[in-house]
Amino acid sequence: MPQKRMLLTSGLSLTLRNWPAFVWTYVFNLGLALIFALPLHQQIASITAHSLASQRLTGAFDLSTMGEVFLKLSQGPGPAMRSSYFSTPFYFVLYFLIVPGTLFCYQTGASATLFTLLQSGFVHFWRFVRITLISLVVTAPILAGLNALRNRWSDHIDLNNVGLPAFLLNLAGLILIGLVVAFLRVYFDLVQVYTVQLGLIQFPADPGRKGRPERQIRRTFKPAWRTLRRNFFRLYLTFVFLTLLGLAAVVVTARIAMHSLAQPRVWPMFLLAQLGLSLMLLTRFWQRGAETCLALENQIHVPAVAPSATIVPQEPLVEAAPTHGEQQEAQAVPDITAAEPSTESPTPLEELPTSEI
């Protein structure tokens, strides 16, 4: 019986031990934003660098002067503002690669080098795309229904309340929707964790079987649901707490950074903003870490098929992390083959190396 640990601490421990995953993601987040903002910066500089009018943005922060800059940018011929939006889709695609890589490293103890992250990301890419599509299909009608309810709630508030109470009641409606979204996110996060876990299993060859079972994400829906149901408050509260922590980090640092707006230097504002954004990102990886810990406590059950099913890291990934320690870790992944094939009951996976979780 696996021992239950506190998800917050074990998740943080896992996240920090695999810190390169978070750091690389942050680097991509920041780097892409900066790269795609470069044309915008050049265009703004062409307007402001040699103009005395821009002094209102040097030792002060005049909103109308800022407004005029952006008005000129929007009216100008250059596509700088539009092109800066592309950082989001690029980051989005990279995130599709990094998340499975991160979950792989979390579960196997493989070193979270960029190569490992991306290679595992490519292996799982289409599985994660499928999960995302399914999550959208599931989430969209739920959110549409909730939004319709919220509109009715909002109309009801509008009829009966004004001022601060109306604001708080509307906010309560939004928070409820946020909690439902968080629930859905937690579930699909677990699906992703189990998808990576499933990919670690070496299923024996079975000529009668269609497809490759380690890639069948539908096999993860039930385990994810079972784990979420059995550990609901433990996981959900952890998830919500970390979400709030991340948002609070952004809000607090943004609020402090705002006070640097009028200063004739940029670095304090930059550092504060980056601190908040990196903390927000860290909490997301922390959530993944907590979910992984839980998934390792409640490992996926595979219906045993003849002659055996084995969970091992995929071969290329072990090769991708060829340090001595990692090879040892890879070898340490136990053979979880059921001694006797059975079609009556699922075969539990044994715990992965506890030294890594």
Partner 1 sequence: MNSVPFHLYLNAFRPQSTFTSETHFTGGIRDSEENDNYPNEKLGSIDISTISADGYGDLTGSMHFTAPDDGNMQDHTVAEVSLPHPLAPGATVTFRLAFHDKFPLSIARNGYKRDFIMGGQWYPKPGLFWHGAWNCHQYHSTTEFFSDFGTFNVHLTLPQRYVVGASGVPTSNRVNPDGTKTLGFYGEDIGDFAFAASPHFTVTDDTYASSMGPVKVHVLALACHPAAGPRYRDIILKTLAEFDRRFGPYPYKIVTVIDPEPGSEIGGMEYPTLFTGGTSWYEPSYGTEITAEHEFGHQYWYGMVATNEFEDAWLDEGINSYTEVNVLSSILGRNTSVLNRPYANAGDYELQRLAYIWTPDFDPVTHWAFKFRNSRSYTAVTYSKTATLLATLESIIGRDTMDEAMRTYFMKYRFTHPTTEDFLRTIEQVAVQRGRTTVLPTSSPCAGLTGCVADVPPVNSSLRPYFDQAVYGTQVLDYTVDSVSASPVQWWVPEPKDKHAREQIPYLSTVYLRRKGDFVLPVTVEVVFEDGTRLREHWDGIDRWRKFSYERRSKVTSVEIDPDHSVLLDVDLFNNSYTEESNGIPARKLTNIWASAQQFIAQLASWIV
For residue 212, state whether it binds partner 1 (rule: CB under 8 A): no
Q: Restricting to residues 297-356, which ones interact with partner 1 according to CB under 8 A? A: none
Q: In terms of CB distance, is 109 or 276 closer to partner 1?
A: 276
Q: How far is the CB of 275 from partner 1 (least distance, A)?
A: 11
Per-residue burial over 36-62, b = 16 or more CB atoms within 10 Å of its CB, e = otherwise = bbebbeebbeeebeeeeebebbeeeee
Binding mask 60-99 for partner 1 (x = CB under 8 A): xxxxxxxxxxxxx-----------xx-xx--xx--xx--x
- Total of residues contacting partner 1 (CB under 8 A): 75
Q: Restricting to residues 151-210, which ones interact with partner 1 according to CB under 8 A? A: 158-160, 162-167, 185
For residue 241, state whether it binds partner 1 (rule: CB under 8 A): no
Q: Restricting to residues 244-303, which ones interact with partner 1 according to CB under 8 A? A: 250, 258-262, 264-266, 269-270, 273-274, 277, 280-281, 284
Q: Could you identify the residue written with the tokens 């002094």?
A: 55
Which residue of 5, 13, 20, 30 would you call a contact of partner 1, by CB under 8 A?
Answer: 30
Q: How far is the CB of 175 from partner 1 (least distance, A)?
A: 16
Strand 310-311 to 201-202 pairing: antiparallel
Q: How far is the CB of 86 from partner 1 (least distance, A)?
A: 9
Which structure tokens are listed for 143?
């959110």
Strand boundaries in 89-204, DSSP class E:
201-202
For residue 141, state whether it binds partner 1 (rule: CB under 8 A): no
Which structure tokens are listed for 134?
């399914």
Burial class for 90, CB neighbours closer than 10 Å (0-12, 13-18, 19+): middle
Task: Please choose, from the candidates 127, 134, 133, 287, the residue with its C-alpha nearest in 3D space to the C-alpha of residue 197.
Answer: 127
For residue 40, state whether it binds partner 1 (rule: CB under 8 A): yes
Which residue of 21, 44, 117, 317 would you call a contact of partner 1, by CB under 8 A?
Answer: 44
Task: Work out the end-to-end distance of the chain between its first and last CA atoms, rounded to an integer number of angstroms.
Answer: 16
Which structure tokens are listed for 116?
């490992």
